[in-house]
Chains A and B, each alone.
Chain A
Amino acid sequence: MSTTAFLTDSTLCIGCKACEVACKEWNQLGDDGFEWSGNSYDNTMAVGHSTWRHVKFVENTPEIGRGGNSAAQLPAWGFSSDVCKHCEVAGCLEACPTGAIVRMEFGAVFIQPDVCNGCSYCVVSCPFGVVEKHEADGRAFKCTFCSDRQRAGLQPACAKACPTESIKFGELDDLRREAQERIKVLEARGVNDAVIYDPTETSVKGIHSLFLLRGDPRTYNLPPNPEVPTTYLKKAWQSAAVAAGAMLGATLLAFLGGRR
């Protein structure tokens, strides 16, 4: 089985939101409310239970070489299409108490909707803030990596609909290489702030949704050092053991003291 991945190149994204539309149509997701955010042209703001692809609109001050409008009134846009990262060590998968969240053959992290009972523990275990419980439905939802399409030998809906090949889909190792080459091409053109977002050094151990961004990943709400919450377990259970010992000791003392 092959290990597939996305490479979302923000230097090619034009902010058309075709990926959002394609995702919603293929996966038959409902609307996510009709509210104005007041933040740029983005009224969705984040991925959630009914938004599995989300285009971020990062406004930069106009600057030559950044694609800003010469009228010096419109901002230079930085777009980036966000999606579930399908972590190598996934916080949601580790935390799920029902076994509803599983690893699929392509490396995807998938929530089985017929098993999930809506405990929402995955919501507080995702270091990227991707998983969300649908309050009306009761279950948690997120990107399925179009596992149904991948099984049929097709690419995910978002990648297929992307008109600029900003969303690339393929083998993880190929895309890692491709991202490095793209950085070199951009540097040759004078774009020297492009970075690859691929946190392999953290406890997440790498992701299946690579990003090519300009500047600091925090601007795109991507954590520089995502950590899987299982890293805190050892300390937590040690503390619980101390607590249990202290409880035993305290009650023991109370009754032994009471005897005198």
Chain B
Amino acid sequence: MSRVPLPELPGRVPDSQSERRLNAIRREAAQSGVVSEKGIVPAGAPFPQASPQTGYYGVPLLKEPQWKPEVPLYFFVGGAAGASAVIANMANWLGDDRELVRSARWMAAGGGALSSALLIKDLGMPSRFLNMLRVFKPQSPMSMGAWTLSAFSTFSAAAAFASLMRDKLGPSIAIRVAENAAGALAAATGLVMSSYTGVLIGATVIPVWNENVGTLPQQFAASGLNSAASLL
């Protein structure tokens, strides 16, 4: 039979001081009905205060961004797709690797389509995504982005299609002109695609973003180019 160990007793030794204190508490409680010493702190105290330093009870002054995870995901996809189009254009112009051009064109086209899908899914009312093209508003980075993405998706898909036709039908003049033109337009809009996202989040009221507005577009472009290069 195993012995159950006795529970360990608390180690504090009572002394005259501790007993005096307990008597004092008893006396005060009997006399005034309340013990006023510190230590009687309600749960949650100290309570937050409204002050110039903490603001209104520490409640954030600004609203939190309400974008779903699709938007940060789009930042990667869109950035990589845009940079792919740039790489495809350069490889087509200066390189001799047809395989690289083909992969880059398809990545740009696929990324463009995926970007649109992600952004439409993020909308509160996805059925109204065409409202994005109601107005052309240079002072709104979101409007510029919507137009850029529309143009980029179109051109990159056209370039990918032309490159497919070139592989199937041979490099006739018409197909090569179409591919080069669509590819150049895709690259031009791709440059915006990779960098405008930095403008999009930089030109907001969120301090950590707008304080770094001078470097965010460059970071986004560098990230897009790196992603595209590593994927290819």
Q: Are B66 and A132 in contact (CB under 8 A)?
A: yes
Measured between beta carbons, the chain A residues less than 8 angstroms from B215 are 239
Measured between beta carbons, the chain B residues less than 8 angstroms from A58 are 50, 56
Residue of A nearest to B137 (CB): A97
Q: Are A117 and B218 in contact (CB under 8 A)?
A: no
Assuming the A-B contacts A98-B131, A232-B202, A243-B220, are A117 and B125 also in contact, with contact meaning beta carbons closer than 8 angstroms in the complex?
yes
Q: Does A191 contact B (CB under 8 A)?
A: no
Q: Mark B191-229, 1 if CB is under 8 A from A, else 0.
A: 110111011011111100010011111101110110000
Q: Are A38 and B140 in contact (CB under 8 A)?
A: no
Assuming the A-B contacts A100-B131, A120-B124, A236-B217, are A247 and B205 also in contact, with contact meaning beta carbons closer than 8 angstroms in the complex?
no
Q: Are A221 and B125 in contact (CB under 8 A)?
A: no
Q: Are B140 and A244 in contact (CB under 8 A)?
A: no
Closest 4 pairs between A and B when the two form their complex, measured CB to CB:
A118-B124, A138-B124, A117-B128, A243-B221
CA distance A59 to B206 in the complex (A): 28
Q: Are A232 and B210 in contact (CB under 8 A)?
A: yes
How many residue pairs bridge A and B at CB < 8 Å? 230
Q: Are A38 and B47 in contact (CB under 8 A)?
A: yes
Give, as a whole number of angstroms, the nearest-CB distance from A194 to chain B.
Answer: 16
Measured between beta carbons, the chain B residues less than 8 angstroms from A34 are none
Q: Mark B140-174, 1 if CB is under 8 A from A, else 0.
A: 11110110000000000000000000000000000
Give, as a whole number of angstroms, the nearest-CB distance from A206 to chain B.
Answer: 18
Assuming the A-B contacts A117-B129, A232-B213, A243-B217, are A139 and B56 also in contact, with contact meaning beta carbons closer than 8 angstroms in the complex?
no
User: In the complex, which of the residues B47, B55, B63, B204 has the most CB atoms of chain A within 10 Å of its own CB atom?
Assistant: B63
- Complex A-B: 28 CB contacts under 8 Å: A39-B47, A40-B50, A48-B63, A56-B56, A91-B205, A117-B124, A120-B65, A120-B124, A127-B205, A132-B66, A133-B66, A138-B124, A138-B125, A219-B51, A220-B50, A235-B213, A236-B216, A238-B214, A239-B217, A240-B217, A243-B220, A246-B222, A247-B83, A247-B221, A247-B224, A252-B90, A254-B90, A255-B91
